[in-house]
Structure 1
Amino acid sequence: MSEITYVPGDATAGRAIDVLVLGGAGVDTIVRVPELPLPYADSYMIDSGIRTRAGQTGDFVAVALTALGLRTHHLDFLGDDPEGDLVRALHREHGIPLTAVPQPAGTKRAVNLVGPDGRRLSLYDTSRAHPDDRFPEDTLRALAGASRHAHVSLTQPCAHALPVLRDTGVTLSTDLHDWDGENPYHEPFAYAADVVFLSAAALGDPERAMRRIAERGRAEVVVATAGARGALVLADDELTRLPAVTPPAPVVDSNGAGDAFAAAFLHAWLNRETPLRSALFGTIAGAHACTVPATETTAIGLDELRVRAADL
């Protein structure tokens, strides 16, 4: 399989891409389980079915950004396998340009166990990448040079792309997900990005971790999402807590909620909204995502997002 390269026009003539999404392409196998943690048993009968669909963190962000009207491009490694075909089909369905670098190890995949309350436990197959994987630098520079912004997933080989991205002058965001505040793998992402998202789930002291990111890195805004407890926003050295938004329907799955939050925040932030206003958009989109079954890959549209924001 040869590399699929998309270079949108002349970067010097304008930015043809609003957001370049790096990494996070793959497939998930969804299994609804009776409870989490799942007690040991020889077997479980899964009446709802076990389904594999395209969509990991980068895919979800790309879909959500596109649903909000942003010109989005996705760059990642993909295998020449059925899973890679699912990812390509997802991008075609949503009209998202995709640059796929061949990955002989195969397309990234995971198994998500989803409980009745929508919580999930993800099992990631880390064999689908190698430490020496690198995005082709000419492709990376061309795409970054044509982009207003780049959102960088934690997946391999995005850490190696950070110096090149910074060299192009494009603004950056990243999502540290459930960082514990100590794992050094996350630090290059945290300190290189202009906007940093993370979950407060594994943080004993979220404010301390957020301020450390702002002090050691270049982040203008640090946002820690906390599910039903809302979100913390650190901007201009001031920490603000935003309450959670009531979901518009019953919560069925939290998978993709953080990605939806990030996409809606970036849409507002790139349109020069304040960090708090951007985070409000994020909480609305994240709450909406929790009402979407794990087997689907859909996102809130711009009109609905604006209506809900106006109501609040």
Structure 2
Amino acid sequence: MTGGVDVLVVGGAGVDTIVRVPGLTLGARETVWVEPIEMYVGHTGHGVALGCHLLGMQAGLADVIGEDDEGFRIRQLYWELEMPLYFVEHPAGTRRSVNLVTPDGERRSFYDGRHPAGLRVDPDLWRPGMAEARHVHVSIMDFARHALPDALAAGRTISTDLHCWDGKDDYHRDFAKSADIVFVSARALPDDTVNWIFKHGRAQAVVVLAGAAGSYLHLQGQPPRHIPALKIPERPVVDTNGAGDAYVAAFLARWLDGVGWYDAALAGTIAGAWACGSAGTHTDLITAEELAARSAVSARNEETG
């Protein structure tokens, strides 16, 4: 790698085991026949890094993994993709999850974070990549919160995804207060949390992701703007794994390209919808060419009402 990266992601890679089930209520059956069970490199940080890579950004990942088969799978993929991977190994192993997915794409994730609470690692894990990065995306791994002061000191713009924050859990507050762009799920979010982020942090934008209801773009001192979810007829929803990560990646890629907040959110909407049309985690994220084509269609549709 020469010249640094556009986006350095700190934390959040692992391996997903995807089990496609007939429904999330399985009753008292001891055995349930399912489609072939698949394993993928996934999790939120990897999804953002890979999404940015496929959108033409130079993207890399700094993370803690294990000296295990899952860790080898991650290292091998980044080598194949020629993406920078900075890592240290921890004896607890590599994060993993088992995700149950229904025929209509609904999912439940059973997450095994593995690493002990309060984990601290040598900051040289992220400092080399951060020194030359344009932007830093910090996943809400406990160890990654210690990268936030370094990113601020280096003058980098920062983003984070708080996922299903309830606005109260102290665990998320460092991330919420340090990021220029905050993504957060609407699922458990109290009405006053966005205002709290603006009041106590440095956010320029807060994006509330609401799944099938779309997303809401909040800017300081302005009313929120709703971006409806998009349906792609030729790509019906089969799996929602990684849709939020795809949204974040496309938002960041377009924003770093210089477009405005609303256009970045539109790009995220398109990328999230695209991701839902393929089974598995991050198996078919949108490319720069496809996003450009879809964005042009969306712009024409807006012009014609």
Q: TM-score range by the shorter chain?
A: over 0.9
- In the TM superposition, what are the counterparts of 1:19-168 in structure 2 within 5 Å? 19-46=7-34, 48-126=35-113, 128-168=114-154
Aligned residues: 296
Match of 2:269 in 1: 283
Instruction: Indicate if the aligned counterparts of 1:63 and 1:94 stay in contact, CA closer than 8 A.
Output: no
- Per the TM alignment, residue 109 of structure 1 is displaced from its structure 2 partner at its CA by 0.7
- Per the TM alignment, residue 125 of structure 1 is displaced from its structure 2 partner at its CA by 1.2
Match of 1:245 in 2: 230
Task: Give the match's secondary structure for 1:304.
Answer: helix
Instruction: Indicate if the aligned counterparts of 2:4 and 2:129 stay in contact, CA closer than 8 A.
Output: no
Output the amino acid matched with 2:144. C
- Per the TM alignment, residue 235 of structure 1 is displaced from its structure 2 partner at its CA by 1.2
Match of 1:306 in 2: 292
Please report the RMSD computed on the Cα atoms of aligned residues, expressed in angstroms.
1.6
Match of 2:211 in 1: 227
Output the amino acid matched with 2:209. T
Match of 1:210 in 2: 194
Output the amino acid matched with 1:166. L
| TM-score, with structure 2 as normaliser | 0.92
Distance 1:145 1:296 in 2: 28
Q: Cα 1:295–1:242, aligned 2, differ >3 Å: closer, same or farther?
A: closer
The more displaced of 166-175 and 36-45 is: 36-45
Distance 2:287 2:140 in 1: 26
Identity fraction in percent: 45
Long gaps (5+) in structure 2: 299-305
Residues 1:272 and 2:258 aligned together: yes
Long gaps (5+) in structure 1: 1-7, 10-14
Distance 1:115 1:202 in 2: 22
Output the amino acid matched with 1:224. V
Output the amino acid matched with 1:97. P
- Per the TM alignment, residue 179 of structure 1 is displaced from its structure 2 partner at its CA by 1.3
- Per the TM alignment, residue 295 of structure 1 is displaced from its structure 2 partner at its CA by 5.6
The more displaced of 143-152 and 281-290 is: 143-152
| TM-score, with structure 1 as normaliser | 0.90
